Structure 1
Amino acid sequence: MRRTPALLSALAVAAVVVTSLVGCSSSASAACTPVFSAGDSSKVVKATSSTASFPTPLVVKSSQVSQLKAGKGSPVQSGDQVDYTYSLYDGATGKQIATSSSSNTATARSGALDTAKATAVQKSLRCATTGERYALVTTVKEGFGAGAGGSSYPDDATLVVVVDVVDHFLGKANGINVLPQDGMPAVITAVDGQPGIVIQEIGKPKDLRISTIKAGAGATVEKGATVHVKYSGWSWPTTSSDKPVIWPGSSSGGDGQASWTNDQAVDLTVDSKSLPVGLYKALVGAKVGSQVLVVMPPKAGFGAGSSSLGVDANATLIMVVDVLGIK
């Protein structure tokens, strides 16, 4: 079995976020318009969750998607996060190249995007439903980006991706804006949902402060729950003229804002023993769809774990957390 590091990397980071959409158009609905349509090449793919067969060589110039098994529930919307498993095949030979498990993750996760720069894989996510299986037939370049196939697979090589959609949830907080709390940083949100902060000439809080920026209307987070979140983090400036410092991440390559820069939500277990006090208290009782601002003095922060974020253990930390779903 041939494996191409560049292609596997693309899959692991965000490329293989295929979430069936089009298929035989059965996944389309009045509330969702798929990006791609089924074609002669995608229709001939037969697959289970772990095997696939199709006539070879299979060749396409543009992406096609066909549904193999129907799912249930609401369709994936642009910007949603999707959990899925996948198997990747060489369109020329029919041989399997990789699976989600071979990339050291039983379940992959990525956002469903339909922007001009999005890959065909990301675009195909739109309109998928939980439990659906589909076949995406695409080229290396269109599906995963130019050069993703390395030396083994040129950009025009055909690939077949079989995707099983496990779950999907919000990609950003969608709650109602709440009036800001005095003495707290101002949160500014970009169109895609990524937050930034502005600190006016206010004193550094000495005690834990928690404020709801957007009030969601979803399920309530309880103790012990596993929640899907996106977060951003900063250290409080040391002087009034300084700007908040974004968590740089550890020397091993961590990123303090990884859940936003990679467009990938992370899962947290809401447990007082595994989370810092401040974050734990901010999450308990929050509703899905909410965006929460928390300012944590050192005693309520990450303590010794601060080094993994690249910040001082004695710093006052600021987090903006979008509560996107409950597992």
Structure 2
Amino acid sequence: MRTRSLAALSVAALSAVLLAGCSTPADPDAEPTPSASAALDLCDAQVASGAATESVTVEGEIGQKSSATFTAPLEVTELQSTVVSEGSGDPVSSGDLVTYALSAFSADTGEELASMGYADSPLLPQQISAESPLGQMFGCATPGTRVVAAFPATEQGAGEVYIIDLIDVVPTAATGEEQEPVDGMPTVELADDGQPSVTLPDGDMPTEFQKATLKKGDGAVVEPGDQVLVQYHGVSWNSGEVFDESWGGAPFPFTVGSGVVQGFSDAVTGETVGSQVIAVLPPSAAYGEGEINEADLKGQTLVFVVDIIAAAPAAQ
């Protein structure tokens, strides 16, 4: 973990989003969000500064693509992180969703390898923890902090140098303005942390796809092909039971129109970031018609409450 490139991890994460495919929208076996006790370890997770990172000169504003100047080849024997500029506000905690941006450079030649997370190439937020590369770079830093990180060479490639900006902490639930409920749709109640619970109405199950906006966010409109990060809560109308949800674990990233059932993509398409929607998926918009069963949800009518946390345009 401590010798893997953050840029490589980011590319892998984006590839996983593009190729995501599972029988339900998220992995029900995903590990839960780190507990409060784990948050105490985040401050200790930051790796030490070193000669390699301290030799790098950085030019540019926080949140904007910047340059790294150093004498190449730069000898990097271990993972290092040096704080270039400290942010302000409350320190991040383990499990927080954070936005970040980075520029990567070859430690051998000094040439720029890639940049991502800036206005022209936004990244989805990621959870920070003591085990994550971001946690190892920043520890419990404050938003607005910039570090220079250096990774030693591996069997996969030469050493690399990064300028990494910890931009902000983002909400883990929809923050939009509450909307009037729609008659005939299931009703939703929210816990203090935003986790929803669903009450199904009396009467026959719908036979066509339906959705309603419960909270209206003021962010970008979600388009087909976008990468999105959501929280979701799924209930079977047939049994009344919760069959899957992201709450209690990590928010779920996916590409609209790929790797999830059609109705799940339709639920977020045309909605704005910060919104919460409820969608009713008949079998034709979910896992198909057939004999009703619990194993693969075939034949079942599903209800999803989806909080749209972030979106990024499809990679060009």
- Check 1:229–1:130 CA distance in 2 against 1; reply closer, same or farther (3 A cut): farther
Which residue pairs with 2:252 in the alignment?
Answer: 266
How far does residue 42 in structure 1 lie from its aligned partner after superposition?
Answer: 10
Aligned 8 A contact 2:86 2:142 in 1: no
User: In structure 1, which of residues 78, 82, 99 is the aligned counterpart of residue 98 of structure 2?
Assistant: 82
SS in 2 for 1:278: helix
TM value normalised by structure 2? 0.53
2-structure distance, mates of 1:130, 1:265: 24
* Residues 1:173 and 2:201 aligned together: no
Which residue pairs with 2:232 in the alignment?
Answer: 231
How far does residue 282 in structure 1 lie from its aligned partner after superposition?
Answer: 1.5
* Residues 1:128 and 2:129 aligned together: no
CA deviations 1:195-225 (Å, max 9, x no partner) are 1111132321111011101111111111110
Which residue pairs with 2:79 in the alignment?
Answer: 51
SS in 2 for 1:223: coil
1-structure distance, mates of 2:225, 2:266: 12
Which residue pairs with 2:127 in the alignment?
Answer: 110
SS in 2 for 1:318: strand
Which residue pairs with 1:69 in the alignment?
Answer: 84
SS in 1 for 2:231: strand
CA deviations 1:26-83 (Å, max 9, x no partner) are xxxxxxxxx99x9xx9999415596239xxxxxxxxxxxxx81337899888885136
Q: Percent identity?
A: 30
- Check 1:221–1:44 CA distance in 2 against 1; reply closer, same or farther (3 A cut): closer
- Check 1:110–1:221 CA distance in 2 against 1; reply closer, same or farther (3 A cut): same
Aligned 8 A contact 1:130 1:167 in 2: no
How far does residue 167 in structure 1 lie from its aligned partner after superposition?
Answer: 6.9
Pairs within 5 Å for 1:1-327: 14-15=33-34, 45-47=48-50, 48=53, 51-52=79-80, 68-70=83-85, 80-82=96-98, 109-110=126-127, 127-129=142-144, 165=166, 168-237=169-238, 244-247=240-243, 256-257=244-245, 259-262=246-249, 264-271=250-257, 273-303=258-288, 310-327=295-312
How far does residue 280 in structure 1 lie from its aligned partner after superposition?
Answer: 1.7
Aligned 8 A contact 1:291 1:321 in 2: yes
How many residues are paired up? 209
1-structure distance, mates of 2:47, 2:276: 45
2-structure distance, mates of 1:71, 1:326: 27
Aligned 8 A contact 2:278 2:305 in 1: yes
Aligned 8 A contact 2:236 2:301 in 1: yes
How far does residue 281 in structure 1 lie from its aligned partner after superposition?
Answer: 1.6
SS in 2 for 1:232: strand
2-structure distance, mates of 1:43, 1:77: 12
- Check 1:13–1:216 CA distance in 2 against 1; reply closer, same or farther (3 A cut): same
2-structure distance, mates of 1:126, 1:45: 14
How far does residue 302 in structure 1 lie from its aligned partner after superposition?
Answer: 3.0
1-structure distance, mates of 2:218, 2:191: 21
1-structure distance, mates of 2:48, 2:141: 20
- Check 1:165–1:176 CA distance in 2 against 1; reply closer, same or farther (3 A cut): same
How far does residue 298 in structure 1 lie from its aligned partner after superposition?
Answer: 0.2
Which residue pairs with 2:116 in the alignment?
Answer: none
Any stretches of 5+ residues in structure 2 without a counterpart?
Answer: 3-30, 54-75, 102-123, 130-134, 150-163
How large is the RMSD of aligned CA atoms in angstroms? 4.6
Aligned 8 A contact 2:287 2:296 in 1: no
Aligned 8 A contact 2:97 2:126 in 1: yes
| Counterpart amino acid of residue 68 in structure 1 | V
Aligned 8 A contact 1:209 1:295 in 2: yes
